[in-house]
């Protein structure tokens, strides 16, 4: 039974959302991935959201661009925490996606991360932190990941030439 679902509004979001799944694999988290659009597939979205808890999922990561209603509509259909990834857009650089995801009305939260690649990576780390509350092996992997980042920053000083 996968721990996390990675959902995107379109296959065109996959190059960014692949950053999320790659990191989930690094942390040893099991996941499933789907294209589900709130706009184009409203009944599938409702069914997925309403079955998510029973299928054993612990976190949903949802990436969408433009009028990015997908994360909010998933959140409206489940009690599982939803992390929203705003996809960068050509017309408005992803500001449209960010505001559509972050400005949820009180009562239906979406944990919104940064636009684009940084957000896609942070979504995976945040999901790993949530799943790690019940999985000690993931805590160990997260600790190692932090240590590697720290060491890479320390080592980078040698390049200040
Ligand atoms: N924001 C949404 C939703 C939704 O929120 O339901 N469905 C698709 N999309 C977004 O439309 C953009 C363009 O999609 P296409 O490339 O398929 O036209 C994508 O970034 C997708 O996430």
Residue-wise pLDDT tens digits, 105-157: 999 999 999 999 999 999 999 999 999 999 999 999 999 999 999 999 999 99
Q: Is 150 annotated as a binding residue?
A: no
Is 0.90 exceeded by the ipTM? yes
For ligand 1, say whether the CB of 84 is within 6 Å of any of its atoms. Answer: no
Q: What is the mean pLDDT of the segment spanning 69-98?
A: 98
- Whether the pTM exceeds 0.95: the reply is yes
Ligand 1 close to Cβ of residue 46 (< 6 A): no
Domain that holds residue 78: 4-159
Q: Is 40 annotated as a binding residue?
A: yes
Nearest to 32 by CA among 110, 107, 127: 127
Q: Residue 63 CA: which ligand 1 atom is closest?
A: 22
CA–centroid distance, residue 159 to ligand 1 (Å): 41
The ligand 1 atom nearest the CA atom of 67: 1
Q: Answer yes or no: is the C-beta of 96 below 6 A from any ligand 1 atom.
A: no
Task: Give the CATH number of the domain where residue 104 resides.
Answer: 3.40.50.1970
Cα within 13 Å of Cα(9), Cβ side: 23
Asked if residue 37 has its Cβ within 6 Å of ligand 1, the reply is yes
As a whole number of angstroms, the distance between CA 76 and CA 50 comes to 9
Kindly state the percentage of the chain with pLDDT values over 70: 100
Phi, psi of 84 (to 5 degrees): -105, 130
Number of domains in the chain: 1
* Cβ of residue 94 lying under 6 Å from some atom of ligand 1: no
Q: Which two tokens stand for residue 89?
A: 């857009």
Distance 26 CA to ligand 1 centre (A): 27
């Amino acid at each position: 039974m996968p721990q996390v679902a990675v959902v995107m509004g379109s296959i065109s979001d996959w190059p960014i959302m692949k950053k999320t799944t790659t990191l989930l694999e690094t942390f040893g988290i099991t996941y499933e991935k789907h294209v589900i659009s709130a706009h184009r597939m409203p009944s599938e979205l409702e069914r997925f959201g309403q079955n998510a808890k029973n299928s054993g999922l612990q976190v949903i990561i949802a990436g969408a661009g433009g009028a990015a209603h997908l994360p909010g509509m998933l959140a409206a259909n489940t009690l599982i925490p939803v992390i929203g990834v705003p996809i960068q857009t050509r017309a408005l650089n992803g500001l449209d996606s960010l505001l559509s995801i972050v400005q949820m009305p009180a009562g239906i939260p979406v944990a919104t991360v940064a636009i684009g690649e940084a957000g896609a990576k942070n979504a995976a780390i945040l999901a790993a932190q949530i799943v790690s509350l019940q999985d000690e092996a993931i805590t160990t992997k997260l600790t190692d990941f932090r240590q590697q980042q720290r060491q890479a920053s320390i080592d980078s000083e040698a390049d200040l030439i």
